[in-house]
Amino acid sequence: MNKKYNLAVLAPEAVYPANTGGRLVVFNKIKYLREYGYNVSLFCIVDSDEEAKKQDAVLAKLGIKSHSYNRNACKKQNLLNIFKHPYAVASRDNVQLKKDLGDLIKQNQIDIIDVEFPQMAINVMNMDIISEKAIKIVLNQHNIEYRTMKNIGQTFDNPIKRIVFKFEASRLRKYEERIYRSDLIDGYTFVSSDDLRIFKEEHPQITVPCKVFSIGADDHGNTEHKNNQNVIIVGKMSYQPNIEGVLWFYQRVWPMVKKSCPNSRLYIVGKDPSESLTEIEDTSVFITGTVDSVEPYYANSSVVAIPIFSGGGVKTKLIEAASYGLPIVTTPAGVLGTNFTNDQQVIVTEDATEFAQNIVAAIDNDQHQLDLAKCAHELFVKEYTWSGICQQMSNFLKSLLG
């Protein structure tokens, strides 16, 4: 009988509802690793006690132990911490989390720690008990974080915001350097080969194992799609790259789509929509806000639009869209780090007119668009299912444990 390992996962936000890219990644990782025989304990920072209660109930049904910490209960400490660390780190530095994690380690209930995003590594730094017990630590790099923050800052029109993001990106880079030059991390994982390449170029001193595990999704290829004219855009709508992309689509692409397809409807699906989106007054546009599941929206759409120009890492929304077998029209940034290519599985263009023409073609059930959607789903099944990806992750973790 195979040994069951005890895995602690540290996440910077709640993982349920799994309605953003980062949440989907961590939720599915812990769900499948639990199925592959790991005893999983989640430690995460949440925004409210209500959010924690909902998450804890769902994870308990999956056999996952959940430890949630409300960061709004530590506002004073967070403010003090920003003098020592970038805000993304300071707001995740939690004394109680460290104590609870340390107690489990002392009780020999942790064999390996998976840290999601560098900012959560603050909670395992300077813990002597980790080295004493020879606990292995893996750091999952969803993006090259400081680069992503810097890129996001450049998308703002407000000069003050641009300066703040540039400053925070600089602080984050110095913080990350401290981690990478320490002996803290026993292995690194990345969601794209591009991120791994950049990381190794910037940190040639790293000799511990580094592996790429793409973002995945569950297969929804059997979902029945209604024959309508709906267009869907999915993402966290407080995230600046998503806001930028949606506004570009609405202002430059959507008028051409509506002219050709007057009955078409645009669904912008995602939590925390910004004021610039909620202010849109157009009867053909629906801003959903937080939803429990995106599945009904994919089922009621003819085509997925992924207009994005900045940010980093593999776009969860692309993998998810391919899992539903729908036509996809995206920009070059939308396919970065994946094997999806223009006119082979998806349409890739930054030209607003071409973008609109391909959206209309998909609405009209153009055969080429349907063929591309089929090819995209076939590539998804071959390379991007969560079950296959997490099996590889499990093997990697076991190799570190010896």
Beta-carbon contacts of residue 303 (< 8 Å; ≥ 6 apart): 231, 232, 326, 327, 328, 329, 359, 362, 363, 369
pLDDT at 231 over 90: yes
Please state, as a whole number, how many other Cβ atoms lie within 10 Å of the Cβ of residue 290.
14
Q: Which of 119-123, 135-139, 158-162, 332-336 has the lowest mean pLDDT?
A: 158-162
pLDDT at 394 over 50: yes
Please state, as a whole number, how many other Cβ atoms lie within 10 Å of the Cβ of residue 90.
22
Percent of the chain beyond pLDDT 90?
77
pLDDT for 2 equals 67
Residues 194-228 pLDDT 10s: 889 999 999 999 999 999 999 899 999 888 887 68
pTM of the model as a whole:
0.84
Three-state SS across 259-283?
Answer: HHCCCCEEEEECCCCCHHHHCCCCC
CA distance 94 to 110: 19
CA distance 293 to 58: 14
Beta-carbon contacts of residue 147 (< 8 Å; ≥ 6 apart): 169, 198, 312
Percent of the chain beyond pLDDT 70?
99
The model's confidence at residue 312, banded by pLDDT at 50, 70 and 90, is: low
pLDDT at 142 over 60: yes
CA distance 94 to 109: 20
The DSSP secondary-structure symbol of 287 reads E
What is the mean pLDDT of the segment spanning 36-42?
A: 96
> Tokens 């450049």 belong to which residue?
154
Residues 42-90 pLDDT 10s: 999 999 999 999 999 999 999 999 999 998 887 777 777 788 899 999 9
The model's confidence at residue 1, banded by pLDDT at 50, 70 and 90, is: very low
Residues 333-357 pLDDT 10s: 999 889 999 999 999 999 999 999 9
